[in-house]
Structure 1
Amino acid sequence: MIRLDNISKQNGHQILFIDASMGVLKGEKVGLVGPNGAGKTTLFRMMTGQEPPDDGLVVTDPGITIGYFSQDVGEMSGQSAVAAVMDGVGPVSALAAEMAALEADMADPDKADQFDAVIERYGEVQHQFEELDGYALEARAREVLAGLSFSQERMDGDVGLLSGGWKMRVALARILLMRPDAMLLDEPSNHLDLESLIWLENFLKTYDGALLMTSHDRAFMNRIINKVVEIDAGQLITYSGDLDFYDQQRALTEQQRQAQYERQQAMLAKEIKFIERFKARASHAAQVQSRVKKLDKIERVEAPRRRQTIQFEFASPPRSGEDVVALKGVNKAYGEHRIYADLDFLVRRRERWCVLGANGAGKSTLLKLVAGADAPDAGAVNIGASVKMGYFAQHAMDLLDGDETIFESLERSFPQAGQGVLRNLAGCFGFSGDDVEKPCRVLSGGEKARLVMAKMLFDPPNLLVLDEPTNHLDMATKEMLVAALADFEGTMLFVSHDRHFLAALSNRVLELTPEGVHQYGGGYTEYVARTGQEAPGLHPG
């Protein structure tokens, strides 16, 4: 379906690809992996013809449709979310818009004299709309939007009033409704809650075209893909299987290359020693010459490049009292929308509560109440003795000073810490070398999240309140964070849509449902086993 043949590509001074090749066939579901900045988005842009390779060919089967979802969704306004989604499917949306305008004309007394002409035109447009299965298309558009957690109200509201994250979902829904022959999805799992993520996973599993996708969500990607393409030092290396298989194969290949490299190094050392020892002796001149020639001809095995794995170790937090947070008789509403009525909830030392619930169930509200960022309408939120809290929310990233560099920001937070210590801290969170000199205003969402996290965990609190801490984080940083938090000796209350994060770190579950609040002993894995569902409100299966 889509093939890259011996492509080379350079961005400024950075060489992204050198004679690299890969292909995606119908029915294949391919995960694209590689470190940040390796060229994943550039690869998508070459496949869609938005950017040509410097050398080599991009070949697509004639007549195939390609749907490309990127993080850059562009301007959307002046129509409903449903209309914006149907827009991606071509003439149907134009006919739907014309039908709506003609219906308005029919009801307009000022246009009574044109009534017959309007009726006639309406009949023609409606016929074309039906021919293209327009009524079914609108129903399908609503189904896709509902899968991505849109309420009816939000579907029919002006798309221009939606936040960036919801506009992303509209752009994604557009591609899914199209059901093109090939889908290129660049981080489709960003900005999705757990319910939407599981719905999208099931949708993509049943999609029968060619799929190439990137995602920082390991569980999501692993359940969909049957092939991995890795961008590694300008090459495209293909592995059949999922991410777990890719990890095993990669480790095996690295071991083999290391062993091969060490064998060659030992052989070279032996030959060089012989040459050094006998080069001055005339009796050995011929042997020495032949060995020098042999060494010149040998193709050198390169040492495998070590993947940098970053590790962060917590200092021990101070010990808190046994009762860390107690909510008693808490009521909370926003206007008519009641979130909590008479909520009692106790968090004890070293418990790790993950909070599950559909959109609007009150997950972030609960965390804000505990963190003191919001107050209950009635009832009390009591923080226990000796509790030192760290609260991570998306708005924390807006509090960074744009004029400061990463290093200055860390230095201002920890004036007592030495330069070496702070550079080490920055390195753990993915800022190596000159990265620390970047001003905060140019940082991406992921970089800001890493900086805020570094500040919070360097002098650790004994209660961590985390609202979607893994949003924007790449897989390597997530792995580091999970490993670090697994050893954390304090208490946690968190919301996340990342199932790997939930399973690895929780030992209690608080489930928010329309029927009420339920508490489960045991972590997320036990919750799934007990309820038969991965998120509240989903049907088992």
Structure 2
Amino acid sequence: MATISLRNAGLRSGTMLFSNLTFSLADGDRVGLVAPNGRGKSTLLRALLGNAELSEGEVTRSRGLTVGYVPQDVPDDVLAVPLRDFVEAGLPPALRETEGWRADVALDSLGFPIDLVSRPMGELSGGWQRLALIARGWVNEPDLLLLDEPTNHLDLGRIIELEAWLSALPRQTMVVMASHDREFLDATTNRTLFLRAETSHLFPLAYSSARVALDEADQAAEQQRQRDLKEVVQLRKQAAKLTNIGINSGSDLLTVKSKQLRDRAERIESQVVAVHREKTGKVMLGNSGADARVMLAFENVVVDTPDGLPLFSIEKLHIFQGERVVLLGRNGAGKSQFMRILTAALAGDGPAGLRLSPQIAAGYLDQALAWLPLNKTPLDYIVSNFDEGDRRSIALLAGAGFDPDRQEKPIRLLSLGQRARLALLALRLQKPNFYLLDEPTNHLDIPGQEQLEADIAEHGATCVLVSHDRRFVRGVGTRFLQIMGRRLREVDGPDAFFTEMAERP
């Protein structure tokens, strides 16, 4: 039986990211690795692979253990390599000539069409590149498969197909995956590891059940903390009382007893663990308000491709203030083009059949975050674009999770998750009453997703959004529009569409 284990593992990068991590993997374990951005998930995966060093502890692998690794991004030096060659290179060199057929099997199992097999990696879309990385990681059918954000760049259909693919792996295969997709974690894992600086938690449960158990553990820890602090207060009161009595009576025994009580109080106080609260940074979105009842009105609008081919039509549609409209549709149905039309209309260049309320103050967040000035620092960007002043801008960035060092780094050096938080802060400072959100959770960690859901729901702003995140769609949407048969139709909710995507051939 192949196994791998960590003992007293810890990782420090300026501050402690996680510590005292001890666990073992055995056949059939499917572990979801959960932590905010920048807390060491990728480094831990590479340490399990043997390509990174931890600050503390050790990794032990059983003899003969084979490991497949799927990083987040395709290396630049393989962009010219044909897809099949890239996947075959995941095999040991001695096997490539005799067992190269494994590359074909891996590609076929992940749904690659034959016309992509000979194309260079750099010509593939982000979604196909992601699946190519998975095919390469699996081509040798390893004992342990490590996946770093496996759903990145995948549309909903491909995510559901990946869930089915993972479920069909041999039962004994061990899998460890870092992901922020809550629904995906629920569908593909049977254990959940929450990485924390003080005490990490491993539960033999999929994400949602494990999250409930984590909250219960935090609540119990807080109750114990309060009891311990109360005992510390009582011990110090008793020690002070005995000290006074001992001084007045001249009793050395009471003085010694008083010191013992104080020492005990100090030991308890030093062992009290504050309940963990993730410091992910808060970016509170708001709603600047509007008096208009109808924010957008469509009448006989045709949504087409950039070269003029019709995709679907909208006969009549009103979007009212406070509605949170989710656009559903298969990949290629026209969701992106619909968002493009809305973006153009908000800039004053929409089609004739689309009317906007003059009271709209729009804020737009796209999945690429391409509009962020990569050579500016976050502080320069906020100061130069919003009338907040230096001190207020520094405070706003700190509140959004940017420590002073990160405020002065060029945006291009920030992780995609950090860029997403900066974009959300800019969106807040625009003070919109209408949000246009295109895959807003793509680079947000789970705490960030939950905060964004709460902000949108609590502040009552109008929004139109596209998202492949099923949990986010269910949590935010109040109205659902689906592209069906070249028409935009209203549906009762998203679940029938999700089921349809799961059952598609």
- The TM tier, using the shorter chain, reads 0.7 to 0.9
Consecutive unaligned residues in structure 1, runs of 5 or more: 96-127
In 1: Cα distance, 2:287 partner to 2:391 partner: 16
Q: Give the match for residue 99 of structure 1.
A: none
SS of 1:36 mapped into structure 2: coil
Q: Give the match for residue 98 of structure 1.
A: none
Q: Give the match for residue 332 of structure 2.
A: 360
- 2:134 paired with 1:162: no
Q: Give the match for residue 90 of structure 2.
A: 88
Residues 375 and 366 (structure 1), Cα distance of their counterparts in 2 relative to 1, 3 Å cut: farther
SS of 1:353 mapped into structure 2: strand
In 2: Cα distance, 1:268 partner to 1:389 partner: 54
52-61 or 286-295: bigger deviation: 52-61
Q: CA RMSD in A?
A: 3.2
Q: Give the match for residue 286 of structure 2.
A: 314
Residues 181 and 249 (structure 1), Cα distance of their counterparts in 2 relative to 1, 3 Å cut: same
SS of 1:318 mapped into structure 2: coil
Determine if contact 2:239/2:257 at 8 Å carries over to the other structure: no
Determine if contact 1:9/1:17 at 8 Å carries over to the other structure: yes
Q: What is the deviation of 1:518? A: 4.2
Q: What is the deviation of 1:160? A: 2.6
Determine if contact 2:36/2:446 at 8 Å carries over to the other structure: no
Q: Give the match for residue 267 of structure 1.
A: 231
Residues 522 and 311 (structure 1), Cα distance of their counterparts in 2 relative to 1, 3 Å cut: farther
SS of 2:305 mapped into structure 1: strand
Residues 8 and 480 (structure 1), Cα distance of their counterparts in 2 relative to 1, 3 Å cut: closer
Q: Give the match for residue 239 of structure 1.
A: 203
Determine if contact 1:144/1:177 at 8 Å carries over to the other structure: no
Q: What is the deviation of 1:345? A: 4.9
Q: What is the deviation of 1:375? A: 11
In 2: Cα distance, 1:185 partner to 1:58 partner: 18
Residue by residue, what CA displacement relative to the aligned partner does 1:333-386 show, whole Å, maximum 9, x if unpaired?
344x83425443524213322122232222111101111079999864332342
Aligned-residue sequence identity (percent) comes to 26
Q: What is the deviation of 1:163? A: 4.8
- 2:165 paired with 1:194: no
Residue identity in the other structure for 1:282? S
TM-score of the aligned structures, taking structure 2 as reference length: 0.86
Q: What is the deviation of 1:86? A: 3.7
Residue identity in the other structure for 2:107? A
Q: Give the match for residue 5 of structure 1.
A: 7
- 2:386 paired with 1:386: no
Residues 362 and 177 (structure 1), Cα distance of their counterparts in 2 relative to 1, 3 Å cut: farther
- 2:476 paired with 1:505: yes
- 2:483 paired with 1:481: no
In 2: Cα distance, 1:429 partner to 1:219 partner: 26
Q: Give the match for residue 319 of structure 2.
A: 348
Superposed, 1:203-352 pairs within 5 Å as 203-207=165-169, 208=171, 209-233=173-197, 235-277=199-241, 278=244, 279-297=246-264, 299-300=267-268, 301-308=271-278, 310=282, 312=284, 314-322=286-294, 324-335=296-307, 338-349=309-320, 350-352=322-324
Residue identity in the other structure for 1:138? D
Structure 1 residue corresponding to 2:344, chosen from 369, 372, 375: 372
In 2: Cα distance, 1:18 partner to 1:520 partner: 50
Residues 57 and 455 (structure 1), Cα distance of their counterparts in 2 relative to 1, 3 Å cut: closer
In 1: Cα distance, 2:399 partner to 2:451 partner: 8
Q: Give the match for residue 25 of structure 2.
A: 24
SS of 1:241 mapped into structure 2: coil
Residues 57 and 377 (structure 1), Cα distance of their counterparts in 2 relative to 1, 3 Å cut: closer
Q: Give the match for residue 103 of structure 1.
A: none
In 1: Cα distance, 2:504 partner to 2:251 partner: 79
Q: Give the match for residue 36 of structure 2.
A: 35
Q: Which has the larger radius of gyration?
A: 1
Determine if contact 1:315/1:459 at 8 Å carries over to the other structure: no
Q: What is the deviation of 1:143? A: 3.6
Residues 296 and 155 (structure 1), Cα distance of their counterparts in 2 relative to 1, 3 Å cut: same
Determine if contact 2:17/2:39 at 8 Å carries over to the other structure: yes
In 2: Cα distance, 1:283 partner to 1:169 partner: 80
Residues 348 and 179 (structure 1), Cα distance of their counterparts in 2 relative to 1, 3 Å cut: same
Determine if contact 2:482/2:489 at 8 Å carries over to the other structure: yes
Determine if contact 1:319/1:490 at 8 Å carries over to the other structure: no
Consecutive unaligned residues in structure 2, runs of 5 or more: none
TM-score of the aligned structures, taking structure 1 as reference length: 0.81
Residue identity in the other structure for 1:405? T
In 1: Cα distance, 2:370 partner to 2:86 partner: 30
SS of 1:254 mapped into structure 2: helix
Q: What is the deviation of 1:189? A: 1.5
Residues 30 and 295 (structure 1), Cα distance of their counterparts in 2 relative to 1, 3 Å cut: same
SS of 2:63 mapped into structure 1: coil
Residue by residue, what CA displacement relative to the aligned partner does 1:293-346 show, whole Å, maximum 9, x if unpaired?
2432563231424404647252432233415141524252344x8342544352
In 2: Cα distance, 1:476 partner to 1:141 partner: 34
Residue by residue, what CA displacement relative to the aligned partner does 1:219-261 show, whole Å, maximum 9, x if unpaired?
1112222112222225543222122333233223323332333
Superposed, 1:391-430 pairs within 5 Å as 391-395=364-368, 397-415=369-387, 417=388, 422-423=393-394, 425-430=396-401
SS of 1:228 mapped into structure 2: strand
Q: What is the deviation of 1:64? A: 2.4
Residue by residue, what CA displacement relative to the aligned partner does 1:17-50 show, whole Å, maximum 9, x if unpaired?
5553211111011111233333222211221111
Q: How many residues align?
A: 490
Q: What is the deviation of 1:538? A: 4.0
Residues 496 and 535 (structure 1), Cα distance of their counterparts in 2 relative to 1, 3 Å cut: farther
Residues 455 and 44 (structure 1), Cα distance of their counterparts in 2 relative to 1, 3 Å cut: same
In 1: Cα distance, 2:121 partner to 2:348 partner: 31
Q: Give the match for residue 67 of structure 1.
A: 68
Q: What is the deviation of 1:140? A: 4.7
Superposed, 1:393-472 pairs within 5 Å as 393-395=366-368, 397-415=369-387, 417=388, 422-423=393-394, 425-432=396-403, 434-472=405-443
In 1: Cα distance, 2:325 partner to 2:162 partner: 26
Residue by residue, what CA displacement relative to the aligned partner does 1:164-220 show, whole Å, maximum 9, x if unpaired?
554233112322444321111111121111111111112222322111111011111
Determine if contact 1:369/1:375 at 8 Å carries over to the other structure: no
In 2: Cα distance, 1:427 partner to 1:54 partner: 27
Residue by residue, what CA displacement relative to the aligned partner does 1:416-467 show, whole Å, maximum 9, x if unpaired?
x466754554355333555434332322222222212222233432322111
In 2: Cα distance, 1:378 partner to 1:250 partner: 50
Determine if contact 2:376/2:410 at 8 Å carries over to the other structure: yes
Residues 347 and 432 (structure 1), Cα distance of their counterparts in 2 relative to 1, 3 Å cut: farther
Residue by residue, what CA displacement relative to the aligned partner does 1:482-516 show, whole Å, maximum 9, x if unpaired?
00011243322111111111111112222235x32
Determine if contact 1:361/1:512 at 8 Å carries over to the other structure: yes
In 1: Cα distance, 2:88 partner to 2:349 partner: 42
